[in-house]
Every structure is written in C-alpha cells, then in structure tokens.
C-alpha cells in the first residue's frame, strides 16, 4: 500500500475561457509536482453547413476557405494559450476536429493519459443544477482520474497552489478502499492532512420512509466510523473521520468547507459512470464542492 501515485501525462482540454485558464493553473501545479507532460487539447467542431444564398436553388455548402480560416484561428489561439505555460513544464499543443467530448475521451485513452483536468462549464443562474455536457460525458466515459470543479477560474497562480488538507468522500461501497488509497497516497506525496467524510441520511424519508429506533442515526454513524477505521488499515496516511447527516452532496460540501480542504476525492466505477450512493450524488457533489474534485 506504499506505492506512489504516478502522473506522467496530464490532458488539459481548453476552450480559451477564464475557466480554462484556471484549470490550466491546477494542471501546471500538478505537472510541476509530478514532472508530467502537459497535453493542451482544443477540439474544433466539425465543419457545419453554411447558408450560401437565398431564393430558388438555395443550397448549403461548407466553404473550404471558411473552414481553413477557422482552423488557423483555433491553432493561433491554442499556440498563444500554450505560450503562457511556465518554462520548465513540458507542454504539447494538440488540435483536433470533431465532437469535443468524444475527442477528449478517445485521445485520453489512446495516449494513456494519467489525468484529465477540466472545468465543469456549469455557469449562469442554473449553475448549481448543471455540469456541462462535455464534462459530464468525460466523467462518464474516461478511464483515468478527472480533476474538475465549478470554481476553477478562481485558481491561484500555479506556484501558489497548495494541498494542505485532502478530503475523501466515501460511500463505503466496494471501491472505497481503492479511492481512499489514492487520496492517502496523494496526501503523503503532498505532505497534506487527510480527512474522511461519509454522509448518512438525515431522516427516515431518505431510506424509503421506514421507521427506526430514535437512536438509528447514531447507530449508522457508529457503523460508518467502524468501516472507515477498517478501510484505513495499512494506508500510507490515516485521516480524521467525519460522519455527516443529510443529503450527500450538501453534507459533503459542508464538511469540505468546514475542514478547509484544498481537494476532494470521490469514486467512480471501474466501468463507465459512477457507482454506489455516489451514483445519484456524484455530479451534485462536484457541482457543490467549494474546492476542486478528483473522481477516481
């Protein structure tokens, strides 16, 4: 259980917004710490049909010169984005054409990337209900850990990024030990404190309206602490344990904020998507987290 995390290649999909620039600062900090290559990827949408005229005989055509200009402009913006990456960090620009989510996932798998860093793209008045469709598909389909969050545009400069406390939200399902092991290794390699968080329902309604003894909540919390203590056996770093009551996303977010965590680690299935109690809550946890989230 003492192996170290190896991050040799980080994929950073960008669309040149402040969110992308903030994600880049975290990717730069990770690349610097792990001596990883940073692949900066921009995906140009496929050529669309442009309206070519009006009246009888109207046709739609994709104009080669328009497509070429659009590609050249994207390449120039990508080169300018990469030029801002600090010296000493190996950065490689990649320009692809196609569906953004599919291209990101396919590239991550083909290049055997160790991590994808990207923002949620969930903005506007409904931000708390949204994860951008591209990020959602990447979270669902990609095999490697994904580093994301709704507030990445507020990231500090890469040299100022610190991981002093890492929180790990556990559903106490089959993969909890694997998820905790990643968080514990990250904590050890970064010299960070580790906190374990688990949420139990706050009412009988959350468990299908069943009737429990008045002490049922305390018993659930006790059992959860026992399980978390067992999961920590043999870990490179052991953390303090927190059992929160209420809706999983809100409870985890509250705990992370109170702990002042710099990073939250959650689990995903070995297959596509999320699993366990986080199946219904993972996207909400990511949306509501006050700090970046790595889904394993």
So where are the chain's domains?
1-49+64-154, 162-296
CA dihedral 18, 19, 23, 28 (to 10 degrees): -10
Give 246-280 pLDDT, tens digit per residue: 889 999 999 999 999 999 999 986 554 443 344 55
The CA-based dihedral angle spanning residues 268, 272, 277, 281, taken in that order and rounded to the nearest 10 degrees: 90
Task: Look at residue 153 in the predicted model and tell me its pLDDT.
Answer: 84
What pLDDT is recorded for position 130? 45
Q: How far is CA 141 from CA 2, 106, 268, in A?
A: 29, 9, 10
What the block records as the tokens of 25 is: 């600062």
CA 45, CA 145: separation in Å to the nearest integer? 25
The predicted model scores a pTM of 0.86
Q: What is the spatial distance between Cα 72 and Cα 60, in angstroms, rounded to a whole number? A: 23
DSSP secondary structure of 189-234: HHT-EEEEEEEE-SSGGGGTT----TTHHHHHHHHHHHHHHHHTTT
The string of DSSP codes covering 220-289 is HHHHHHHHHHHHTTT-SS--EEEEEES-HHHHHHHHHHHHT-SEEEE---SSSS--TTHHHHHHHHHHH-
Question: Do the domains 162-296 and 1-49+64-154 match in fold?
Answer: yes
With residues binned 3-state (H G I as helix, E B as strand, rest as coil), the percentages for the chain, rounded to 5, are 40, 20, 40
194 forms bridges with which residues in the sheet? 166
CATH class of the domain defined by 162-296 = alpha beta
pLDDT digits (tens, 9 = 90+) for 149-203: 888 888 999 999 999 999 999 999 899 999 999 999 999 999 999 999 999 887 6
More confident residue, 135 or 25: 25
CATH architecture for residues 1-49+64-154: 3-Layer(aba) Sandwich (3.40)
């Amino acid at each position: 259980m003492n192996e170290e995390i190896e991050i040799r290649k980080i994929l950073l999909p960008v669309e040149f917004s402040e969110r992308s620039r903030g994600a880049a600062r975290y990717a730069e900090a990770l690349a610097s710490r792990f001596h990883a290559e940073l692949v900066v990827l921009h995906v140009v949408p496929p050529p669309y049909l442009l309206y070519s005229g009006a009246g009888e005989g109207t046709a739609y055509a994709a104009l080669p010169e328009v497509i070429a200009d659009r590609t050249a402009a994207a390449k120039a913006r990508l080169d300018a984005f990469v030029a801002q990456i600090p010296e000493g960090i190996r950065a490689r620009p990649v320009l692809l054409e196609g569906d953004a989510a599919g291209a990101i996932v396919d590239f991550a798998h083909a290049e055997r990337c160790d991590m994808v860093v990207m923002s949620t793209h969930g903005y506007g008045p409904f931000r708390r209900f949204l994860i951008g469709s591209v990020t959602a598909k990447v979270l669902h389909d990609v095999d490697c850990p994904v580093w994301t969050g709704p507030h990445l545009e507020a990231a500090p400069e890469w040299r100022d990024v610190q991981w002093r406390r890492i929180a790990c939200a556990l559903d106490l399902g089959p993969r909890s030990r694997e998820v905790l092991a990643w968080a514990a290794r990250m904590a050890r390699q970064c010299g960070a404190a580790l906190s374990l968080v688990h949420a139990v329902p706050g009412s009988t309604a959350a468990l299908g309206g069943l009737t429990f003894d008045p002490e049922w909540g305390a018993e659930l919390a006790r059992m959860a602490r026992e399980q978390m203590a067992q999961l920590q056996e043999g870990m490179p770093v052991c953390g303090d344990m927190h059992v929160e009551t209420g809706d999983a996303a809100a409870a985890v977010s509250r705990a992370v904020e109170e702990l002042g965590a710099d990073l939250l680690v959650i689990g995903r299935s070995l297959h596509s998507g999320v699993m366990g109690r986080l199946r219904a809550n993972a996207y909400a946890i990511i949306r509501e987290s006050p700090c970046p989230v790595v889904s394993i």
